[in-house]
Amino acid sequence: MLKNKICKFLCAVIFTTTIACNTNGFNATAATEYKFDFGGGAVEPGYIGVSATTAYSAARGYGFNTPANMKNVTASGSGLTSDAVQFLAFGTKSTNTFNVDLPNGLYEIEVTLGNTSRASVAAEGVFQIINMTGNCAKDKFQIPITDGQLNILVTEGKEGTAFTLSALTIKKISDNAVTNRTIYVGGDSTACNYYPIDTSAQAGWGQMLHRFIDTKEFQIRNIAASGQCARGFRDDGQFETILKYIKPGDYFLLEFGINDTAAKNNTTEAQFKEIMRDMVKQTVAKGATIILVTPQGRSTDFNSSNVHNSEGRYYRNSTLALAREENVPLVDLNVLSSRYFTSIGPNATLSLFMSGDAVHPNRAGATELARLIVEDIQRQGLFDSKEKDKAGDLNGDGNIDAIDFALMKQFLLGVISDFPDVDDKIAADLDGDGNINALDFALMKKYLLGAITEFPVDEGNTEISTIYQAEDAYIFNGVKETINGGFIGEGYCNLNNDTTSYIEWTVNAEKAGLYKLKFRYANGTTADRPMKIEVNGNTVISSLSFFSTGVWTTWQDVTINANLNAGINKIRASSIVATGGPNLDYLEVTNVTKP
C-alpha cells in the first residue's frame, strides 16, 4: 500500500517537473507575453502589428471579432503611438472586441490609448479601467483568464468622442487565475484617477493610495469616476466590476455623498442611505471587507476662528449611521481632514486644492487625504498583510502538493534560482533554520506522504488574545459604572468630561513585538470623542477617534497596532477633548508577532 502511494507520488512529481520546465517559447499553450501595435502605420520592433481589418481566427490566435466595426486612425504620438484603431461599436457587453487566445491564469494588461477625450476599457464583459483622459493615456490592470481567451475593447467614458487603442501588452503573472489581494475604490472625482496617472496635476485620493500601501501585498483597483453618485455607481456597471472579482481578503473603500446631494441626481438622503446599504450587503455577502468613507469638505469651510468644519455636508450623518447599523468599518475623512486643515491653516489648505476650486484636491492634497485614510484604517487593525507565508506552499496557490515538491527539487538542483513568488523562499524554509536544504526537502516529502501533519516552523504558530477589563485598570478622574447595559465583565469605565481624565491598563506581553490593541467602547453622543494612546509613556497615536455608537448601550471596537516590550507594559488612553473620552469596556491584546 505504502509502495503504491510512493509510486503515484513520484509519478506526479516527474509529471509536474516536466510541465514546470517546459515553459519556453511563444505559442498558444505557453504564452508569457504578447505585445500588439494597432493601426495602419509601421509596426514597432518587438510588437505584433494589428490593423482594423485583422480578423480573429483560431489559427492566428488573435484578432478583432467584428473587423467591420473597427477603423484605422492616426494618433498624435510618435512611433508606437503614431497610429491606433477606433472602436465604432462599443459598450461593456459589446461583441466588438479584440480577442487573444491565452492559457488560463492571471495576467497584467497594459493599454495605451490613441487620441482620446475620455474613454474606459472593458474586458470579459465588465469595466476594467474607468475614464482614461488625454492623448496616448496609459494604464494597466490585472485580470484572471478562465476560458482561454481575453476579450477586450475601448468603450465609453464620454459619449460622442472617439474610443481608440494604440498598443496592448499582455504579461502572464501566474497560472493561478485569481487576482492578488485587492483594495477596490468606489467614489467620485475626489477619489478617481487622473492622467497621466504618475504626473497629473489633479489627483484623487484613490490614485495616491499606493504611496501608503504595501503593493507587494495588495493591488489597488480604482473604479471611482468623476461626476458619479451612489446610484450611478451601483447601476451603471462600476459596482458590477467589483462584484465580479472581489473575494475574501479584499477590501472595498466606498465614498459617496458629494454628487448625491446635487439636485440633478434627484436622490434624497433616505434613498442615498439605502443604495449604499445595498452595496454594503452585497460586498459583505462576497466575504470581503467594505469600509465606508465620508467625503472631505471644501477648502473654504473655515469659520472666523480658522477652525475647519464641514460635518453637515454630503449626507455624512447617514453614512455614519449606516456604518453603525451594518457594523462595518468607517473612515470619517470629513472629520479627519477638517482636523488636519485646521492644524495647517486656511492658506496651506488652499494650496492642497486645484486653483479656484474648493472641492477637488491637487496631487499634494490627494496624497494627504490618502495618508489620512490609510492611517485611520491601519489604526483600526485593517489592511493587514498575510502574517506569514504558508509553509510548504511554494507557488502561492494555497495548496501544498507535488508541484511544490517539484519546485523544491528544482531549486536544490540549481534548475531554478527562485520560486514563482520571491517571498516563497520563506515558505520553503520548513524547519525555520534560515536555510533551504535537504532537511527541508525531506520534511516536504514526509508531509506529502502523511508521515507528519505540520512543519517544525509552524509549531506554536497561533494567535493569543488576552482581555483586560476596564474596571480592573487604573482610572484617573473617572468611575467604574454598571448603569448602561451590554458591557462584558463586571462594569465599565466612565471618564470625567475633561482633558485630565485617563485609564491605564497594565499588560503582560510574553514577547517583545507587534500587538493588536482592541478597545471596546460606547459613545452615546453624536460627536467623536478622540483619545491619545500611549504605550510605556510613548505616544502611539495622538488622536484616536472613538466615533458615536448611537446610544450608550451599543458597544463597538476600534483597533490599532503597537509594539510592546517583553514583560510589563503600561497602556494609557487619555481624554483630549473637553467632553472626555467614551465609556470603555475592555482592552483586548493580541500578538501579531508570533510568540
The fraction of the chain above a pLDDT of 70, given in percent, is 90
* Domain presence at residue 508: yes
Mean pLDDT across the stretch 93-113?
96
Is pLDDT above 90 for 331? yes
Question: Do 448 and 536 have their domain in common?
Answer: no
pLDDT digits (tens, 9 = 90+) for 160-207: 889 999 999 999 998 889 898 999 999 999 999 999 999 999 999 999
Clarify whether residues 311 and 207 are in a common domain: yes
Asked whether residue 308 carries a pLDDT value surpassing 50, the answer given is yes
Residue 421: per-residue pLDDT: 53
- 6 pLDDT band, cuts 50/70/90, is very low
**DSSP E strands, 231-301:** 251-254, 289-293
Please tell me which residue in 82, 120, 174, 189 is annotated as part of the active site: 189
- Per-residue confidence (pLDDT) for residue 299, from 0 to 100: 95
Q: Give exposure, 348-370, as e/b (b: 16+ Cβ within 10 Å).
A: ebbebbbeeeebbbbbebbbbbb
Out of 357, 418, 423, 498, the active site residue is 357
Whether 162 is covered by a domain: the verdict is yes
In whole angstroms, give the CA distance from residue 109 to residue 124: 13
Tens digit of pLDDT for each residue in 367-396? 999 999 998 898 888 876 544 457 888 876
Query: Do 122 and 71 lie in a common domain?
Result: yes
Q: Where are the beta strands (DSSP E) in 164-246?
A: 164-165, 167-174, 182-186, 219-222
In which band, very low, low, confident or very high, does the pLDDT at 217 lie, cut at 50, 70 and 90? confident
Asked, for residue 512, whether it belongs to a domain, the answer is yes
Report the pLDDT averaged over residues 144-150.
95
- Rounded to 5 degrees, what angle do the CA atoms 64, 171, 406 make? 130
**Three-state DSSP state, 278:** helix
In this prediction, residue 380 carries a pLDDT of: 85
Tell me what pLDDT residue 22 has: 33
Is the pLDDT at 443 greater than 70, yes or no?
yes
Q: Look up 189 and say whether it is catalytic.
A: yes
Residue 148's pLDDT band, with cuts at 50, 70 and 90, is very high
Q: Which residue has the higher pLDDT, 247 or 9?
A: 247
Last residue of a domain, one of 177, 208, 229: 177
Q: In the prediction, which pLDDT does 78 show?
A: 94
Of all helices (H) and strands (E), which one includes residue 570? strand 567-575
Q: What is the per-residue pLDDT for 400?
A: 86
Domain end among 140, 159, 177: 177
Mean pLDDT of 226-238: 95
Asked if residue 209 and residue 161 are part of one domain, the reply reads no
Using one digit for the tens of pLDDT, what is the confidence trace for 400-415? Answer: 888 888 888 988 998 8
Q: In terms of Cα–Cα distance, which of 112, 105, 98, 111 is closest to 152?
A: 98
Clarify whether residues 276 and 334 are in a common domain: yes
Catalytic-labelled residue, pool 360, 424, 545, 585: 360
Span 68-80, average pLDDT = 96
Question: The domain that contains 489 carries what CATH number?
Answer: 2.60.120.260
In this prediction, residues 511-524 reach a mean pLDDT of: 90
Same domain, 482 and 408: no
Q: Can you give the pTM of this predicted structure?
A: 0.67
Pair 358, 309 in one domain:
yes
Range of the domain at 420: 402-458
- The reported pLDDT for the residue numbered 398 is 67
Lowest mean per-residue pLDDT among 186-190, 255-259, 312-316, 450-454: 450-454
pLDDT of residue 419: 72
Which of 12-26, 77-91, 359-373, 573-587 is predicted with the least confidence, judged by mean pLDDT?
12-26
At residue 288, does pLDDT exceed 80?
yes
Whichever domain contains 439, its CATH number is 1.10.1330.10
161 in the same domain as 189: no
pLDDT at 361 over 90: yes
Same domain, 144 and 282: no
Task: Determine the residue type at 129.
Answer: I
Question: What element of type H or E holds 272?
Answer: helix 269-285
* Lowest pLDDT segment from 311-325, 434-448, 511-525: 434-448
Asked about 360 being catalytic, the answer comes back as yes
Does pLDDT of 506 surpass 50? yes
The residue-averaged pLDDT of 112-123 equals: 95
For residue 108, being part of any structural domain is answered with yes
pLDDT score of 352: 96
Whether 139 and 195 have beta carbons less than 8 Å apart is answered as: yes
Is 541 within 8 Å of 532 (Cβ atoms)?
yes
Q: Which range (10-14, 169-173, 178-182, 590-594) has the least confidence? A: 10-14
Average pLDDT over all residues of the chain: 88
Residue 259, pLDDT above cutoff 50: yes
Position of cell 454598571? 482
pLDDT at 429 over 90: no
Residue 92 confidence class, pLDDT cut points 50, 70, 90: very high
Q: How confident is the model at residue 490 (pLDDT cuts 50, 70, 90)?
A: confident
Burial tier of 321 (Cβ tally within 10 Å: 0-12, 13-18, 19+): middle
3-state secondary structure of 174: strand
Q: What is the pLDDT of residue 389?
A: 53
Q: So what's the pLDDT on residue 440?
A: 87
Residue type at 356 in one-letter notation: G
What is the reported pLDDT for 593? 53
Say yes or no: 164 and 83 in one domain: yes
State which of 177, 198, 214 marks the end of a domain: 177
Q: Are residues 166 and 128 located together in one domain of the fold?
A: yes
Is there a domain that residue 208 lies in?
yes
| DSSP symbol at 227 | T
Q: What mean pLDDT do residues 513-533 have?
A: 92
Answer whether residue 475 shows pLDDT above 70. Answer: yes
Same domain, 135 and 248: no
Q: How confident is the model at residue 424 (pLDDT cuts 50, 70, 90)?
A: low
Q: Give residue 462's pLDDT.
A: 55
Contact (CB, 8 A) for 581 and 528: no
472 has catalytic annotation? no
Q: Phi and psi (nearest 5°) for 328?
A: -120, 155
- Total of domains in the chain: 4
CATH (domain of 53): 2.60.120.430
The lowest-confidence range among 28-42, 76-90, 259-273, 534-548 is: 28-42
Residue 488 lies in a domain: yes
**Does 88 have pLDDT greater than 90?**
yes
- Give the CATH number of the domain where residue 309 resides: 3.40.50.1110
The answer to whether position 4 is within a domain reads no
Lowest mean pLDDT among 14-18, 144-148, 453-457, 462-466: 14-18
Three-class SS state of 475:
strand
Residue 122 placed within a domain = yes
